[in-house]
Amino acid sequence: MSDLVRYSVIETKNKREIVLLQGLGCRYKNCSFCDYYLDVSDDMENINLSALSCVSGKYGILEIINSGSFCELTPSTFEVIKKVVYDKKIHTLIFECHYLYRDEIVNLKELFRDFKIKIKLGLESFDYNLRENVMKKGIKEDSPQIIAKDFDEANFLIGIKGQTKQMILNDILLGLRYFDRICVNVMCDNSKLKADLDVIRMFCSEIYPNYKDNERIDFLLDNTDFGVG
The reply on whether position 68 binds ligand SF4 by CB under 6 A is: yes
Counting residues that bind ligand SF4 (by CB under 6 A) gives: 11
User: Of the two residues 68 and 159, which places its CB atom closer to ligand SF4 in the complex?
Assistant: 68
Q: Is 23 in the site for ligand SF4 (CB under 6 A)?
A: no
Is 28 one of the binding residues for ligand SF4 (CB under 6 A)? Answer: yes
Whichever of 39 and 90 has its CB closer to ligand SF4, that residue is: 39
198 closest CA partner among 157, 141, 158: 158
- Rounded Cα–Cα distance for residues 188 and 198 (Å): 13
Give yes or no for a contact between 76 and 44, defined as CB atoms under 8 angstroms apart: no
Cβ closer to ligand SF4: 17 or 39?
39
| φ, ψ of residue 35 in degrees (nearest 5) | -125, 20
Longest CA–CA span in the chain (Å) reads 48
CB 178 within 8 A of CB 123: no
Q: Give the residue, chosen from 10, 19, 21, 34, that forms a contact with ligand SF4 under the rule CB under 6 A.
A: 34
Q: Does residue 208 interact with ligand SF4 by CB under 6 A?
A: no
- What's the rounded Cα separation, in Å, for the pair 149 and 146? 5
* Under rule CB under 6 A, residue 59 binds ligand SF4: no
Q: Which is nearer to ligand SF4, 192 or 212 (CB)?
A: 192
Query: In the stretch 91-110, what mask flags binding to ligand SF4 with x, by CB under 6 A?
Result: -------x------------
Pairwise CA distance, residues 117 & 91, whole Å: 9
In the set 15, 29, 83, 165, which binds ligand SF4 (CB under 6 A)?
Answer: 29
Kind of pairing, strands 217-220 and 61-65?
A: unpaired
Would you count residue 178 as binding ligand SF4 (CB under 6 A)?
no
Whole-angstrom Cα distance, residue 110 to residue 155? Answer: 24
CA distances from 119 to 122, 171, 192, 207 (A): 10, 18, 26, 26
| 229 lines the binding site for ligand SF4 (CB under 6 A) | no
From candidates 19, 21, 36, 183, binder to ligand SF4 by CB under 6 A: 36
Binding site for ligand SF4 (CB under 6 A): 26, 28-29, 31, 34, 36-37, 67-68, 98, 122
